[in-house]
Chains A and B, each alone.
Chain A
């Protein structure tokens, strides 16, 4: 039957942005690889939105919260039935958990965290950042199906104006007796995460102490962005590791990256230099961060960041 299967994740009643991106590139791949774009999920309410992003059918498994075992079994059943050329998962926590498990069960190859995809010569060709963005590898996945996880923010989510996807109920797998989800604890303030954010405001050692991260948080909040951090600040215990940008943190590529008091160690630069627009504020004119900044401001972040926060608030109020 061929075609493309995309794991469509839903949060708060909407498709996750990363899943919309995966559907969008999946639709383009289906045009060259042949066959339909179809989605796999657990929420039939996503059918209308999945359709708008080009999915012809939404296969719904009777599952609720994500756990590895049942989701792998359900998606494996679907792949056996649909026999797609390509299976895509957004590179979310769940996508990254499920993709390798499924690939091993299918005995197929998977390209992780890709930022470009094309179907050429009967193979899936993917580009992926390696060495945290210090290099780019182009890989070819020759198995059937070929699998990939897409890097959040790397592909544009584009509506295709399709009809509501046809909902097809699939059989439920047996429950997993090996792993049990006891509890999900949401971070207090529902903070925006750096992996998916369009805007990131990052703080570095130039903040001098933990409490000064409030300056970064205030700006991030005003501008609608996520809070990022350099490794030094995480290692010093000023902020949680989830915020760390760079080689042992997250590699990010938002539309706008604002770095304040971040000198720009090679690991940090590797993790953020593919951002579309980079603003750096640092009092040291020789700081390496200026080499990748589109706009570099040599000055005192303790003066400039609060002034910028106020300016942003004012601009938004108008």
Chain B
């Protein structure tokens, strides 16, 4: 049972975002991490490998810094890594999906894992787009997965409910928090990862036209920070009844919520 896990490297969620030239984030001094939802995707793929054997190939499209993220995934238990070099920041979600789909075609796979969204760009688009480009079923926002013979069963989170879906393989799964508890890299894992060569490819290697990937369909024309909130009134809540009365007054008169 072979799995591919597509990962995105994103700014640390603790980081403050600064803007460069009004269009993109300033990467100076910014710490990058594996997108948190991708960690659940990776963990699930490793568990499938541990139960059924096979490879876990991590794939990422981006500048050279993404090799660090791929290395971290290898340390946690992925067995192969593929880096598609390019400025993923100037590609829209479909451009990224086309790139990943083209790369995945040459990697043996039964299951394709993604995080349900890349934390930061927060698009939630790439996984289902890859599913469409490859003609696979998609199981989106998955909190539980069972891999059987030739088919999988997944629990999908929807508003106030949960769907149980059954799909044939190959299939695309996008991971939600709660799917599992991701492991940390062990020292042994870190040492073993150093011996694995990260394969690299370019867009032309994949038979793709740069012009179909970059600056197409959806382009960012401006990036700005939200207006700084100054904080409002602060009151002493020492007396609970008085505080409750004040809050109620605010809710009724200003929020007009009752």
CB 8 Å contact bits of B218-246 with A (1 = contact, 0 = none) = 11111111100111111111101101111
**When the two chains form their complex, are residues B243 and A256 in contact, meaning their CB atoms are under 8 A apart?**
no
**When the two chains form their complex, are residues A93 and B159 in contact, meaning their CB atoms are under 8 A apart?**
yes
Give bound CA distance, A142 to B68, whole Å. Answer: 34
**When the two chains form their complex, are residues A299 and B258 in contact, meaning their CB atoms are under 8 A apart?**
no
Distance in Å from the Cβ of B127 to the closest Cβ of chain A?
8
Distance in Å from the Cβ of A152 to the closest Cβ of chain B?
9
Distance in Å from the Cβ of A108 to the closest Cβ of chain B?
6
**When the two chains form their complex, are residues B159 and A196 in contact, meaning their CB atoms are under 8 A apart?**
yes
**Is residue A167 within 8 Å, beta carbon to beta carbon, of the partner chain?**
no
**When the two chains form their complex, are residues B240 and A299 in contact, meaning their CB atoms are under 8 A apart?**
yes
Main secondary structure of the interface of B (DSSP, over half): mixed
Which residues from chain A contact B224 at a C-beta distance below 8 Å? 135-136, 138
Nearest B residue to A195 via CB reads B159
Identify which of B122, B160, B226 contacts A187 (C-beta below 8 A): B160
Interface size class of A (residues with CB under 8 A): 35 or more
Give bound CA distance, A110 to B81, whole Å. Answer: 29
Give bound CA distance, A273 to B232, whole Å. Answer: 13
Which residues from chain B contact A72 at a C-beta distance below 8 Å? 132
**Is residue A80 within 8 Å, beta carbon to beta carbon, of the partner chain?**
no
Give bound CA distance, A130 to B120, whole Å. Answer: 6
**When the two chains form their complex, are residues B17 and A131 in contact, meaning their CB atoms are under 8 A apart?**
yes
Which residues from chain A contact B241 at a C-beta distance below 8 Å? 307
Nearest B residue to A295 via CB reads B250
Which residues from chain B contact A258 at a C-beta distance below 8 Å? 247
Would you list which residues of chain A between 277 and 299 have a CB under 8 Å from chain B? 277-279, 281, 285, 290-299
**When the two chains form their complex, are residues B122 and A134 in contact, meaning their CB atoms are under 8 A apart?**
no
**When the two chains form their complex, are residues A110 and B162 in contact, meaning their CB atoms are under 8 A apart?**
no
**When the two chains form their complex, are residues A304 and B159 in contact, meaning their CB atoms are under 8 A apart?**
no
**Is residue A303 within 8 Å, beta carbon to beta carbon, of the partner chain?**
yes
**Is residue A174 within 8 Å, beta carbon to beta carbon, of the partner chain?**
no
**Is residue A1 within 8 Å, beta carbon to beta carbon, of the partner chain?**
no
**When the two chains form their complex, are residues A110 and B225 in contact, meaning their CB atoms are under 8 A apart?**
no
Give bound CA distance, A176 to B139, whole Å. Answer: 13
**When the two chains form their complex, are residues A297 and B122 in contact, meaning their CB atoms are under 8 A apart?**
no
**Is residue A19 within 8 Å, beta carbon to beta carbon, of the partner chain?**
no
Interface size class of B (residues with CB under 8 A): 35 or more
Q: A296-B231, A307-B243 are in contact. Are A248 and B36 (CB under 8 A)?
A: yes
CB 8 Å contact bits of A172-195 with B (1 = contact, 0 = none) = 000011111111111100111101
Would you list which residues of chain A between 107 and 152 have a CB under 8 Å from chain B? 107-113, 125, 128-143
Identify which of A182, A241, A256 contacts B257 (C-beta below 8 A): A256
**When the two chains form their complex, are residues A112 and B124 in contact, meaning their CB atoms are under 8 A apart?**
yes
**When the two chains form their complex, are residues A182 and B219 in contact, meaning their CB atoms are under 8 A apart?**
no
Which residues from chain A contact B209 at a C-beta distance below 8 Å? none
Interface residues of chain A, those whose CB is within 8 Å of chain B, are: 67-69, 72, 92-94, 96-97, 99-101, 103-105, 107-113, 125, 128-143, 176-187, 190-193, 195-196, 198-199, 223, 234, 240-242, 244, 247-249, 251, 255-256, 258, 266-267, 273-274, 276-279, 281, 285, 290-300, 303-304, 306-308, 310-312, 315-316
5 more A-B contacts (CB under 8 A) besides A112-B93, A248-B36? A94-B158, A97-B138, A256-B255, A295-B233, A307-B241
Q: List 28 A-B contacts (CB under 8 A).
A: A68-B138, A93-B141, A100-B126, A100-B128, A100-B129, A104-B133, A112-B122, A131-B25, A139-B221, A180-B165, A182-B164, A186-B161, A190-B160, A191-B160, A192-B160, A199-B257, A223-B251, A248-B36, A266-B16, A277-B254, A281-B237, A290-B231, A293-B231, A293-B232, A298-B235, A304-B240, A304-B244, A312-B248
